[in-house]
Amino acid sequence: MAGKLSKREIEELKAFVQTGNLTATAAKLQEKLESLEKTPLDIAITGVSGSGKSSFVNAIRGLRDNDEGAAETGTTQTTMKPNPYTHPRHREVTIWDLPGTGTPTFQPEKYLKEVNFDWYDFFIIVAATHFTSHDTNLAREIQKKGKRFYYVRSKVDNDLKGEGRKKNFNKERSLQKIREDCIENLRKVGEASPRVFLICIWEPANYDFPLLLETLENELDEQKRHVFTLALPNISAEILRKKKAELQKHILEVAFMSCAIGAVPLPGLSLVCDVAILVFHMRQYCVAFGLTDESLTRLARQVGKPVAELKSVMKKSSMASAITKEFVLSLLSRSACGLLMIVEFVLNFVPVLGSLAGGGISFLTTRYLLQSFLDDAAEDAQKVLTKALEPKA
pTM over 0.85? The answer is no
DSSP state string for 286-351: HHHTT-SHHHHHHHHHHHT--HHHHHTTS-GGGSGGG--HHHHHHHHHTGGGGHHHHHHHHHHHTT
Condensed to tens digits (0 to 9), the pLDDT of residues 216-225 reads 999 998 889 9
Does residue 190 surpass a pLDDT of 50? yes
Query: What is the predicted pLDDT for the residue at 351?
Result: 45
Q: Confidence band (pLDDT; 50, 70, 90) for 130?
A: confident
What mean pLDDT value characterizes the chain? 81
Beta-bridged to residue 196, according to DSSP, are 151
Condensed to tens digits (0 to 9), the pLDDT of residues 118-128 reads 999 999 999 98
Phi, psi (deg, nearest 5) at residue 196: -120, 135
Condensed to tens digits (0 to 9), the pLDDT of residues 54-80 reads 889 999 999 988 888 888 876 555 557
Does residue 266 surpass a pLDDT of 80? no
Higher pLDDT, 342 or 263: 342
Condensed to tens digits (0 to 9), the pLDDT of residues 314-366 reads 986 678 888 888 888 787 777 654 454 454 444 445 444 444 455 566 777 78
Structural domains of the chain, with CATH: 7-37+240-389 (no CATH), 40-233 (3.40.50.300)
Does residue 242 surpass a pLDDT of 90? yes
The residue-averaged pLDDT of 133-158 equals 90
